[in-house]
Amino acid sequence: MVASSLRSTIPKCAAAAQRSRRTSSIALNSLENRRRRDFSGASSRPPPSPTDTLPSYLSGPTTHFGFSSVSVTEKESKVRRVFENVADNYDVMNDFMSAGLHRYWKDELLKMTGAAPMAKALRRRASLRRAAQSDDDARGNDVPSFSVLDVAGGTGDVAFRFADAAGCRERAKSSGTDEICVTVCDINPEMLRVGEERARRRFGAAVLDESRALKFVEGNAQCLPFDDDSFDLYTIAFGLRNVTDVDMALGDAYRVLKPGGRFLCLEFSHVTNLPLAKLYDLYSFNVIPQLGQMVADDRESYQYLVESIRKFCTQEELVSRLEAAGFERVQFTNMTGGIVAVHEGWKPL
């Protein structure tokens, strides 16, 4: 009954997804504009500080861990233990949390990025460029044309969608570094272990070791281990609400994006339809923890994940925080009545 009610709202986001797919041409133009400009030696414009009307996400020595209050220094280790506990059953966990809809939401996120048509255009351009180059020039051109960073994506669920859409497995049959690179960054080494094992089974070793289209890197969303202006696209799916300081994470997302780069966040949000909200709360608090106990012998981790959704920003608050971090053209798209939302913004050129 719950899954049926949730799925009945799916068609409402189809028009928004279609509109967002047209951004692939905007992103391609942004890539070209960046390459025509000389950014050598220039650093990113620092993001502005939150305004007086928007209090900092952290305002004291304590913060929330679900409905509990814990010290700021303690939350990170607690969240880490949750995901260590669920790493091997992460996809099952997402099925519980969303009644299976997370797969559809992630597919829609991919469509909103315009990754498939963009990859097709970039590969065609790269092929023409290689045909016009000498072998020596081609060997020296190993910098990806398009770089994606998927944060908190340890098991690779979103990154694999990018790799499939971009044809990375087929490209790995040719020599040289792939023009498209998808980097998965996660704070939890257990999640990364699961993700890399899945990647090798799904794509083969060549995609990771030879074409280097997929990478797995351990890192904290609040202080990413990458240089300024490194990525064209930053995605984070169902991870932002688990970060200790959301403002810091958004600021670092801004830092590592290239000028003209795009940020997209898929996250559980706040349901806008009252009858659906009541039904969803009933399912979340009474069914999900019980399923966690039955399937994974871990009620507490699933209880935290349910509670963390209710403590996270509203759709409008996250828009304000993105704008405070420096992003422009910020907007959000509700899916399934606001059970999840995709927030997006662009780093100005």
Q: What is the pLDDT of residue 142?
A: 56
pLDDT band at 14, cuts 50/70/90? Answer: very low
Q: How many CB atoms lie within 10 A of CB 336?
A: 25
**Centroid of chain to Cα 169:** 21
Identify the CA nearest to 313 among candidates 332, 300, 289.
332
Q: Distance (Å, rounded) from C-alpha 132 to C-alpha 339?
A: 50
For the stretch 77-136, pLDDT in tens is: 888 888 887 777 777 777 776 778 999 999 999 999 998 898 888 888 877 877 777 555
Quick check: 1 pLDDT over 60?
no
Confirm if 191 and 185 have CB atoms less than 8 A apart. Answer: no
Confirm if 13 and 326 have CB atoms less than 8 A apart. Answer: no
3-state class (DSSP) for residue 147: strand
Confirm if 343 and 335 have CB atoms less than 8 A apart. Answer: no
For the stretch 158-215, pLDDT in tens is: 999 999 999 999 999 888 889 999 999 999 999 999 999 999 999 999 999 999 999 9
3-state class (DSSP) for residue 262: strand
Q: Distance (Å, rounded) from C-alpha 195 to C-alpha 156?
A: 5
For helices 72-86 and 90-98, what crossing angle results, to 10°? 100
**Centroid of chain to Cα 72:** 23
Residue type, 84: E
Distances (CA, A) of 22 to 28, 114, 116, 257, 265: 11, 7, 11, 20, 18
Q: Distance (Å, rounded) from C-alpha 69 to C-alpha 58?
A: 12
Identify the CA nearest to 180 among candidates 142, 133, 217.
142
What is the pTM (predicted TM-score) of this model? 0.82
